[in-house]
Amino acid sequence: MTVNDPLATRARDLARSGDQEGAAALIRTLVADVTGQEVRDLVLTLDQYSLNSVNGRATLADGSRYFYKFHSEEGEDQTIAEYYNAELLREHGYLVDLPVFASGEPGRQILLYALRDEPRLADVARADDLGEHDAPPGDVILAAQADRDELAARNLVASLHPITAAQSAAEPIHQLFHHRLTSPGAEPGRGGRIASFYEGRDFALGGGEPGGTGGTIELSWQQLLDARWRIDGIDYDRTLGELLAEAAELLDPAAVAAFGGVVAHGDDHNANVWFTTEGDAHPLVAFDPAFAGRHVPALLAEVKATFHNALAHPLWLYEPALAEERYGAAVRIVDGIVVVERDWALTPLRAALLTSRAERTWRPLIAALAEQGLLPEHWRRIVRLALMLCPLLVRDVRAGGAGGHTPTTSALAFAMIVQCGAEPLAGADDVSAFLTGVEG
Q: What is the CATH number of the domain that holds 93?
A: 3.30.200.20
pLDDT, tens only, 321-331 = 999 999 999 99
For residue 212, tell me if it sits in a domain.
Answer: yes
On the question of pLDDT at 1 being above 50, the answer is no
**Distance separating alpha carbons of residues 327 and 316, to the nearest angstrom:** 9
What's residue 263's pLDDT? 98
Rounded CA-CA distance 40/57 in Å is: 11
Q: In the listed set 49, 79, 114, which residue is the last one of a domain according to the structure?
A: 114
| pLDDT tops 80 at residue 310 | yes
264 and 375 within one domain: yes
Residue 73, pLDDT above cutoff 60? no
pLDDT of residue 51: 58
Whether 107 and 147 map to the same domain: the answer is no
DSSP string, 331-370: EEEETTEEEEEE-----HHHHHHHHHIIIIIIHHHHHHHH
pTM: predicted TM-score of the whole model, two decimal places: 0.90
Query: Residue 182 gets which letter from DSSP?
Result: -
Q: pLDDT digit string (tens) for 350-373? A: 999 999 999 999 999 999 999 999
CA distance 3 to 29: 11
In a domain, 131, yes or no: yes
Tell me, yes or no, whether 72 and 163 share the same domain.
Answer: no
In a domain, 1, yes or no: no
* Exposed/middle/buried for residue 267 (C-beta within 10 Å: 0-12, 13-18, 19+): buried
Residues 109 and 125 in one domain: no
Does residue 33 sit in the same domain as residue 58? yes
Residues 233, 238, 244, 245, Cα dihedral to 10°: 180
Same domain, 286 and 425: yes
Please check the confidence at residue 213 and state whether its pLDDT lies above 80.
no
* Whether residue 222 has pLDDT greater than 80: yes
Give the confidence band of 279 by pLDDT, cuts at 50, 70, 90: confident
Q: If pLDDT is split at 50, 70 and 90, which confidence band does 50 have? A: low
In this predicted structure, what is the pLDDT of residue 364?
98
In a domain, 363, yes or no: yes
Tell whether 125 and 106 lie within a shared domain: no
Task: Identify whether residues 153 and 104 lie together within a single domain.
Answer: no
In a domain, 334, yes or no: yes
Question: Cα separation of 375 and 435, whole Å?
Answer: 15
How would DSSP label each residue in 35-69?
A: HSS-EEEEEEE--TT-SSEEEEEEEETTS-EEEEE
Residue 206 falls within a domain, yes or no? yes
Residue 67: domain span: 7-114
The reply to whether 100 and 173 lie within a common domain is no
Residue 2 within any structural domain of the chain:
no
C-alpha to C-alpha distance for 323 and 326, rounded to whole angstroms: 5
241 within a domain of the structure (yes/no): yes
If we measure between CA atoms, which residue out of 19, 110, 22 comes closest to residue 69? 110
62 Cβ contact partners less than 8 Å away, ≥ 6 residues apart: 37
Please say whether the dihedral angle defined by the alpha carbons of residues 362, 364, 370 and 373, taken in this order, is positive or negative.
negative
Residues 100, 166, single domain; the answer is no
Instruction: Work out the percent of the chain whose per-residue pLDDT is above 90.
Output: 78
Domain boundary among 114, 143, 173: 114
* Mean pLDDT for all residues in the chain: 92
Quote the pLDDT of residue 102: 85
How far apart CA 26 and CA 31 sit, in angstroms, is 9
Q: CA–CA separation, 134 vs 219, rounded Å?
A: 43
Task: Give the least confident one: 51-55, 106-110, 222-226, 353-357.
Answer: 51-55
Q: Which helix (H) or strand (E) holds 295?
A: strand 293-297
pLDDT, average across residues 211-231: 89
How many whole angstroms separate alpha carbon 331 and alpha carbon 317?
18
Please state the domain count of the chain: 2
My answer on whether 198 and 321 are in the same domain is yes
CA atoms within 13 Å, Cβ hemisphere of 267: 27
Residue 54 confidence class, pLDDT cut points 50, 70, 90? confident
Q: Last residue of a domain, which of 85, 114, 143? A: 114
314 and 424 assigned to the same domain: yes
In the prediction, which pLDDT does 347 show?
Answer: 97
Q: What angle do CA 270, 265, 413 make, to 5 degrees?
A: 45
The DSSP call for residue 263 is E
